[in-house]
A and B are shown apart, each in its own frame.
Chain A
Amino acid sequence: MNLESNVPEGPLKDKWSKHLNDIKLVAPNNKRKHNVIVVGTGLAGGSAAASLAELGYNVTSFCIQDSARRAHSIAAQGGINAAKNYPNDGDTIWRLFYDTIKGGDYRSRESNTYRLAQVSNEIIDQAVAQGVPFAREYGGLLANRSFGGAQVSRTFYARGQTGQQLLLGAYQAMMRQTHNGNIDLHTRHEMLDLVVVDGKARGIITRDLVSGEIKRWMADAVVLCTGGYGNVFYLSTNAKNSNVTAAWRCHKRGAGFANPCYVQIHPTCIPVSGDYQSKLTLMSESLRNDGRVWVPKEKEDDRHPNDIPEEERYYYLEEKYPAFGNLVPRDVASRNAKIVCDKGMGVGPTGRAVYLDFRDAIEREGEKTISEKYGNLFDMYENITGDNPYKQPMRIFPAVHYTMGGLWVDYNLMSNIPGLFVAGEANFSDHGANRLGASALMQGLSDGYFIIPYTIGNYIAGAELDKDIDIKHEAFNEAAENAQSHIDKLLGVNGDKSVVDFHRELGQIMWDKVGIARNEEGLKQAIEEIQALREEFWQNVRVPGEAANYNKYLEFAGRVADFLELGELMAKDALHRDESAGCHLREEHQTDEGEAIRNDEEYAYVAAWEYQGVNGQLQEKLHKEDLEFEFVELKQRSYK
């Protein structure tokens, strides 16, 4: 597997401009002759499709939802970072870069992360010009706020709906190009395979989710913008339809899957209330500014929280981290919630929750002030749980939120399969082992608006693509038959256990053993359990209905089948990475206080896995891209 990162030479700050000077261009009149497929219409896919179409390429775009406006980017609440330094608090591109790479615990590629910080400012310009209604000051200029992991105010926001507003901006730009005939948009289409001809990505196979028809699409390049794989945990803050299938099928065609074990777990979500639970709802992290996190000191204390006296409450974050207190980074907060629950101090009917208490804040500032700050969040909480957070503490618990791992890409965001580009959460590139708040939107849009449109031209101009192939080519036949037979196989099992049950069981294994904290024994067990579950799946799953119809359970069955393989790879990756880094905490490698201990000597690399088949076990070969840090010094994170 070729893991040449293709990072340009030169000083960090000049790499991108130098690269732009050096890359090949496609002449405007020739762009029409080139087809580009963009899969997914989230921030990365929407912005890439729109920008490529504006440049003149023929873009064919696909999404699984009924509209290009619904991808899960829409749910991002907090904001988007940029190094504009409008508040004049000393922010620079370097600081944004440094915070991001440090936040990622030094497991991302320096050059990519720096470029992300560089183009961040252009994203804000672009969004404002599109009419994205960011928050403003009374003077009419843009407002900023601070966000976790940064000492400056660099986050632009549109109330709690920043993702929605940015996505609608990209969607609208995309619809403009659709109207002009430059984008051929296909909604309710799911990518089931990648077509590789002569070693190059030349097309995809999709299933029309309404008619069930298997269709073939040819192109000169394929851009995968299909998001993260958090739903391998069954319960996550991801949308129900978010899945790994497109990326996983590319992986099976030879694309390296990098750092699959890096999963971000968000500390403030509404806890699970029962088996029927279908997803977890995020409560904004801002709540930790005023809420105090605690559990009863006594195990399995079933008193009402308001009846537990002050001296019997364990404010574990404040006690362990006096400097940051309740505001420690996401991974630290999540990990500590798990620790106290594992000790039996968890609260609520399941014992898997901790209190987030606003009593003192309400006493100090008054109910009115607290309501002004968090009223909508409190209402949302009460709507979901039926409890009033003004009267009793909220119950919260961590939940899977974002996946830093993804398909391996080089500096051009191209995977190791030439012509297959990967953008947004679907790639592994910019966040290392942990993503900072308000950076996901930045990365998706930077990839789609400002990187892919240039690097794809460079590829196409030099690719020497075979012009004589069409969708009747043998490779298309093989891929289409492969997709069809996979569906037939799923429908043919005719077992008696539902897809949801398999998914829930997989999620439980992942959460218990490949979740917040991992250890060798647990990971080995997880691998065995996943293998057994996968085996059972193919013998006993029941998929109702038929292939040639709208059939959501069939869609899910295909996705769960892929999750059952990915889950094993994640456990394998977590097992092989015998260090702690960012969100990946190996219990064998932590300080006495439970802090992650990195091993830069042996693990400062990207682990890219090569698929080699499933034979009871998932066969994957490890390849390494060493991470070289020319410009930053590696330090141990500390939030004491």
Chain B
Amino acid sequence: MAEEFTINLKIWRQAGPDQPGKLVDYTLDTVNEHMSFLEMLDVLNEKILNEGGDPIEFDYDCREGICGSCDLMIDGRAHGPKAMTCSCQLHMRNYNDGDTITVEPFRARAFPVIKDLVVDRSAFDRIIEAGGYVSIKTGSAPDANSIPVDKQVADTAFDYATCIGCGACVAACPNSSASLFTGAKLAHLNRLPQGEPERKKRTVAMVEQMEEEGFGDCSNFAECEAVCPKGISISAIAEMRRNYMKAALAGDEA
């Protein structure tokens, strides 16, 4: 069995959306290297419960890095120190005995805190709602092989489609911009022949919705790419800009 070690934590506690929050100190001396970061928080919660306290609320579900639920700002970095990793895939072997770790929620005006580390990311859903789809009805699709798609185009579309909607890009961006999230969905759909007919409309609608939700400007920091658990490239943002301006320049002309 792996040896246990001690971790000091400073965790953001906030009772509700409009209440003040603060960092609270905890010490956990039963951490072992095989635990995931979230399992470490589970153990801490059990300890808090045993002492009669209120457990820390945080979002999670699949715990294998694909659902996009977990969203922790760990020591000032979205999803912690490792690249291409969700909070749930971060293991405690990345830490040493006696380390102090600060845990905060993903912060942005568009991601209001619900409780402790839980935030409301429904703004992302509304961006998709605005145009992040191909408008086809069930049952009306032609045979799947009727439109060949260049393998490279399909592979690149896939790379952008791997976005898990966790919000790390927004959390880490100094401006709280959602450009990578929005750009990734646009880059996925806009480059496929199936998505082409709605390219202009989709791009404009999603860009406008993104702004309406209160996400900030993109200043090309590329921090979003660094924290993205799927490593989505900021090329998506440049592409979004190009499609948006082309749509505006073309106006209503077909």
Neighbour of A241 across the interface among B2, B34, B61, B64, CB < 8 A: B61
Contact B124 A67 (CB under 8 A): yes
Contact A74 B125 (CB under 8 A): no
- Contact residues of A between 134 and 178, Cβ < 8 Å to B: 134-142, 158-159, 161, 164-165, 168, 171-173, 175-176, 178
Contact B68 A544 (CB under 8 A): no
Besides A70-B165, A128-B144, A273-B2, 13 more A-B contacts (Cβ < 8 Å) are: A65-B67, A66-B121, A70-B67, A122-B139, A131-B195, A136-B151, A176-B133, A185-B125, A278-B36, A281-B63, A383-B91, A544-B53, A552-B57
A493 interface hit (Cβ, 8 Å): no
Stretch from B37-45, B214-222, B245-253 contacting the other chain: B37-45
Once bound together, how far apart are the Cα atoms of A138 and B93, in whole Å? 42
Contact B165 A67 (CB under 8 A): yes
In terms of DSSP, what is the predominant structure of the interface of chain B? loop
A141: which B residues are within 8 A, CB to CB? 145, 148
* Residue interface bits A175-199, CB-to-B below 8 A is 1, else 0: 1101100000101000000000000
Contact A161 B64 (CB under 8 A): no
- Minimum CB–CB distance for A496 against chain B, Å: 8
B120: which A residues are within 8 A, CB to CB? 66
Once bound together, how far apart are the Cα atoms of A124 and B144, in whole Å? 6
Neighbour of B93 across the interface among A65, A67, A386, CB < 8 A: A386
Asked whether A130 and B142 contact (CB < 8 A) given A66-B59, A278-B38, A498-B49, the answer is no
Stretch from B72-80, B170-178, B186-194 contacting the other chain: B186-194
- Minimum CB–CB distance for B147 against chain A, Å: 8
Asked whether A175 and B125 contact (CB < 8 A) given A67-B165, A74-B62, A278-B42, the answer is yes
A179: which B residues are within 8 A, CB to CB? 129-130
Asked whether A65 and B129 contact (CB < 8 A) given A133-B158, A164-B66, the answer is no
Selected A-B contacts with CB under 8 Å, 18 pairs: A65-B69, A66-B69, A66-B121, A66-B122, A74-B62, A129-B134, A141-B148, A165-B161, A175-B128, A179-B129, A240-B61, A274-B1, A278-B38, A279-B63, A282-B64, A453-B138, A544-B53, A550-B118
B99: which A residues are within 8 A, CB to CB? none
Once bound together, how far apart are the Cα atoms of A334 and B29, in whole Å? 36
Contact A69 B61 (CB under 8 A): no
* Residue interface bits A257-284, CB-to-B below 8 A is 1, else 0: 0000000000000000110111101100
- Minimum CB–CB distance for B213 against chain A, Å: 14
Contact A386 B138 (CB under 8 A): no
Once bound together, how far apart are the Cα atoms of A557 and B190, in whole Å? 45
Contact B138 A133 (CB under 8 A): no
A545: which B residues are within 8 A, CB to CB? 54-55
Contact B122 A128 (CB under 8 A): no
Once bound together, how far apart are the Cα atoms of A158 and B66, in whole Å? 14
Q: Which residue of B lies closest to A546 (CB)?
A: B54
* Residue interface bits A52-67, CB-to-B below 8 A is 1, else 0: 0010000000000111
- Minimum CB–CB distance for B202 against chain A, Å: 11
A75: which B residues are within 8 A, CB to CB? 62, 64, 66-67
Closest 4 CB pairs of A and B: A140-B148, A129-B141, A172-B133, A133-B158
Q: A: which residues have CB within 8 A of B?
A: 47, 50-51, 54, 65-72, 74-75, 84, 86, 122, 124-131, 133-142, 158-159, 161, 164-165, 168, 171-173, 175-176, 178-179, 185, 187, 210, 239-241, 273-274, 276-279, 281-282, 349, 383-386, 449-450, 453, 498, 500, 542, 544-545, 549-553
Q: Which residue of B lies closest to A180 (CB)?
A: B129
Q: Which residue of A lies closest to B150 (CB)?
A: A140
B147: which A residues are within 8 A, CB to CB? 128
B135: which A residues are within 8 A, CB to CB? 176
Once bound together, how far apart are the Cα atoms of A367 and B128, in whole Å? 42
Q: Which residue of B lies closest to A272 (CB)?
A: B34
Contact B136 A129 (CB under 8 A): yes
Once bound together, how far apart are the Cα atoms of A119 and B16, in whole Å? 47
Asked whether A133 and B42 contact (CB < 8 A) given A126-B138, A175-B128, A349-B1, the answer is no
B139: which A residues are within 8 A, CB to CB? 51, 122, 126, 449-450
Q: Which residue of B lies closest to A550 (CB)?
A: B115
Contact A386 B69 (CB under 8 A): no
Contact A133 B129 (CB under 8 A): no
Asked whether A69 and B68 contact (CB < 8 A) given A133-B157, A544-B49, the answer is yes
B2: which A residues are within 8 A, CB to CB? 273-274
Q: Which residue of A lies closest to B1 (CB)?
A: A349
Once bound together, how far apart are the Cα atoms of A129 and B198, in whole Å? 13
Once bound together, how far apart are the Cα atoms of A386 and B36, in whole Å? 12
Once bound together, how far apart are the Cα atoms of A47 and B142, in whole Å? 18
Neighbour of A140 across the interface among B55, B143, B149, B195, CB < 8 A: B149
B33: which A residues are within 8 A, CB to CB? 386
Neighbour of A175 across the interface among B61, B133, B144, B158, CB < 8 A: B133
